[in-house]
Amino acid sequence: MNDLDVTGLRKSYGRFTAVDDVGFTVPAGGSLGLVGESGSGKSTTARLLLGLERPDAGSVLVCGRPVAAVSRRERARLIQIVFQDPFGSLDPRLTVEDCLTEVLKLHFPAPSYGKRVGELLEQVGLGPREAGALPRQLSGGQRQRVAIARALAVQPKVLVLDEAVAALDVSVQAQILGLLADIRAAEEVSYVFITHDLAVVGCVADQVAVMRHGRVVESGPTRQVLTSPQHDYTRLLLDSVPRAAF
Ligand SMILES: Nc1ncnc2c1ncn2[C@@H]1O[C@H](COP(=O)(O)OP(=O)(O)OP(=O)(O)O)[C@@H](O)[C@H]1O
């Protein structure tokens, strides 16, 4: 069974259609890059995947379950998202340890969460020093690691990363992408990488779907799409990549 089956998604705001007949699948443990320039409908698609907005048409199934029809709590166990700027999503008053404990308490009945918090921090390359820190005492890369740990704490089937490394400098980007690749190799989780950056896609995605004006204009295995693009728009995106990353 696929981790994610997306069919015929459509979302309009007034007369403007932001997402138009978008479909893709992600197999178990797979990784899909959803690319396109600003305004192409990527973030709207992300909100539809997460069930944060209802589509006008189409469906999102995570492991065969429709996200629109399950409870919020159950949905959180199916699909999680990490945003570009975790500052906005991390509670500034909670230490890293308290932030992770809070999520674990919501989803798992256990007398002690300390061990699991330690495991999660280790998984994202953080240790006891960061456990006691507040978000403002961490670097951007460390905060993003905390956001990833928090998302993984509920053991979701699918993790959506919406421009999750866009705000980081290139060396930290590479560290986080390497970390995500290691996590995928070790856990039963699949990724949807939403990005305008084809270099990111080249590093982490098995499959890629290229969006333009709310539609998927080209999709296929990443290497194939990056090395022999079929659509003019994909070629244009590739031509505008400033660095030789693939
Ligand atoms: N709530 C909304 N109301 C009206 N229009 C919206 C709304 N959300 C998105 N749009 C429009 O839908 C289009 C797609 O936006 P979206 O944020 O999905 O694009 P994107 O590819 O993620 O771009 P970016 O990378 O800049 O976030 C844009 O033209 C945007 O103005």
* 42 Cβ inside 6 Å of ligand 1: yes
**Phi, psi of 181, rounded to the nearest 5 degrees:** -65, -40
pLDDT of amino acid 155: 93
Contacts of 44 (CB under 8 A, 6+ apart): 11, 18, 19, 53, 214
Strand order through the sheet with 31-35:
79-82, 158-162, 190-195, 31-35, 207-212, 215-221
pLDDT of amino acid 47: 95
Choosing among 3.30.565.10, 3.40.50.300, 1.20.272.10, 2.60.40.650, the CATH entry for 4-84+157-239 is: 3.40.50.300
Ligand 1 atom having least distance to the Cα of 47: 18
Distance CA(208)–CA(219), nearest Å, equals 5
Tell me the β-bridge partners of 197.
none
* 31 Cβ inside 6 Å of ligand 1: no
The residue ranges of every structural domain in the chain are 4-84+157-239
Condensed to tens digits (0 to 9), the pLDDT of residues 39-58 reads: 999 999 999 999 999 999 99
Cα 191 to ligand 1 centroid, rounded to whole Å: 21
Cα 84 to ligand 1 centroid, rounded to whole Å: 15
* 212 Cβ inside 6 Å of ligand 1: no
* 44 Cβ inside 6 Å of ligand 1: yes
Cα 40 to ligand 1 centroid, rounded to whole Å: 7
- Indicate whether this complex's ipTM tops 0.85: yes
What is the SS3 assignment for the chain?
A: CCCEEEEEEEEEECCEEEEEEEEEEECCCCEEEEECCCCCCHHHHHHHHCCCCCCCEEEEEECCEEHHHCCHHHHHHHEEEECCCHHHHCCCCCCHHHHHHHHHHHHCCCCCCHHHHHHHHHHCCCCHHHHCCCHHHCCHHHHHHHHHHHHHHCCCCEEEEECCCCCCCHHHHHHHHHHHHHHHHHCCCEEEEEECCHHHHHHHCCEEEEEECCEEEEEEEHHHHHHCCCCHHHHHHHHCCCCCCC
* 15 Cβ inside 6 Å of ligand 1: no
* 141 Cβ inside 6 Å of ligand 1: no
* 43 Cβ inside 6 Å of ligand 1: yes
pLDDT per residue, tens digit, the chain (246 aa), is: 999 999 999 999 999 999 999 999 999 999 999 999 889 999 999 999 999 999 999 999 999 999 999 999 999 999 999 988 767 778 999 999 999 999 999 999 877 899 999 999 999 999 999 999 999 999 989 999 999 999 999 999 999 999 888 888 888 888 889 999 999 999 899 999 999 888 888 888 999 999 999 999 999 999 999 999 999 989 988 887 765 555
Strand order through the sheet with 16-26:
16-26, 4-13, 57-62, 65-66
* 195 Cβ inside 6 Å of ligand 1: no
Condensed to tens digits (0 to 9), the pLDDT of residues 212-222 reads: 999 999 999 99
pLDDT of amino acid 84: 86
Condensed to tens digits (0 to 9), the pLDDT of residues 82-98 reads: 988 767 778 999 999 99
Condensed to tens digits (0 to 9), the pLDDT of residues 217-236 reads: 999 999 999 999 999 989 98
Ligand 1 atom having least distance to the Cα of 18: 12
